[in-house]
Amino acid sequence: MAGAPDSVRTAVLPIAGLGTRFLPATKAVPKEMLPVAGRPLVQYAVQEALDSGIERVVLVAAPGRDLALQHFARDRELEAALAARGRSRAQAEVRMLPTLGERLTAVEQAEPLGLGHAVGCATQAFGPGPYAVILPDDLVLGNVPCLRQLLDVHDQLGGTVLAVTSLPREELRKFGVVAPGVDDGTVVEVHGLVEKPAPGMEPSQLAVVGRYVLAPEVCAALPTLVPGAGGELQLTDAIAATIGATPVHAVRFEGRRFDCGNPAGMVAAGVAVTLADPSLSEVVATSVRALLSGMDGEQA
């Protein structure tokens, strides 16, 4: 009789991307440090990992990119300045950061060779897994952390678990797409994966988005990867290589996903976060309504 699945204690956050869609801002500021309603993307990802029960978070960063680690470091001078000015809410936010930072470590990705390579940099440093992976570009807002939902399925079924969402066919060429098997409406057996399929070759409309739980077998396959779609080492190729040998499932997660890898998604995420903040929601809602009303007037 098979034992219970190994607990997932480590999450990998790849943050080595160039952020070209946000230039010129990302010329000096790494994409993972761009703010959504005052907090950088990487902070949302770290918080989700820890809220999901993860014990260690590994940042996979480009050489010289240490701003994310600096963000979570203690800054006593700033704390004192905020206290002197009576900025208690900001002071509390800043004082909380080092408690997140205690769980962080970093490894270097010398070259941007793809997501499979980025995850491989972490597994080479910390062993065979299992691992969780969070892509900070994909911000998911909901009552239960997206990663926690995947971990719950992993605890029941073991193997590899992927977050998926249904997308229009014209958007699927940018994603890994699942070839589904048995589907109970939430959890889907994965019989195959196609990375960035050509139009008309999509096996379904279920796209893999930003959250993974990887079985040790996937981690073992990473060093054998050859360049795939886009000339990069694709994580989906490593996952696909294990299908049949280890269980692979996809989860239609609860929550709203924002693609913060592009400016429109970043703006939408900022609006959603501020509307959920009682101290900001009224003024933001009023501003958004005024903007939309003005647009309607211009189009009339």
Q: Please say if the pLDDT value at position 2 is more than 60.
A: no
Give the per-residue pLDDT at 1. Answer: 38
Question: Quick one: pLDDT band at residue 235, thresholds 50, 70, 90?
Answer: very high
Let me know if domain 10-261 sits in CATH 3.20.20.80: no
Give the per-residue pLDDT at 128. Answer: 83
Give the per-residue pLDDT at 18. Answer: 86
User: What's the residue count for the chain?
Assistant: 300
Cα end-to-end distance, the chain, whole Å: 69
Kindly report, residue by residue over 9-32, the tens digit of the pLDDT.
Answer: 999 999 998 899 999 999 999 999
* Boundaries of every domain in the chain: 10-261
Name which of 90-99, 127-136, 138-147, 288-297 the model is least confident about: 288-297
Kindly report, residue by residue over 26-61, the tens digit of the pLDDT.
Answer: 999 999 999 999 999 999 999 999 999 999 999 999
Q: Please say if the pLDDT value at position 226 is more than 70.
A: yes
Question: Quick one: pLDDT band at residue 3, thresholds 50, 70, 90?
Answer: low
Q: Please say if the pLDDT value at position 293 is more than 90.
A: no
Structure tokens given for 143: 């009552």
- Dmax over CA atoms of the chain, in Å, equals 69
Q: Please say if the pLDDT value at position 229 is more than 90.
A: no
pLDDT averaged over every residue in the chain: 93
Strands 104-108 and 56-61: parallel
Kindly report, residue by residue over 243-291, the tens digit of the pLDDT.
Answer: 999 999 999 999 999 999 999 999 999 999 999 988 888 888 998 889 8
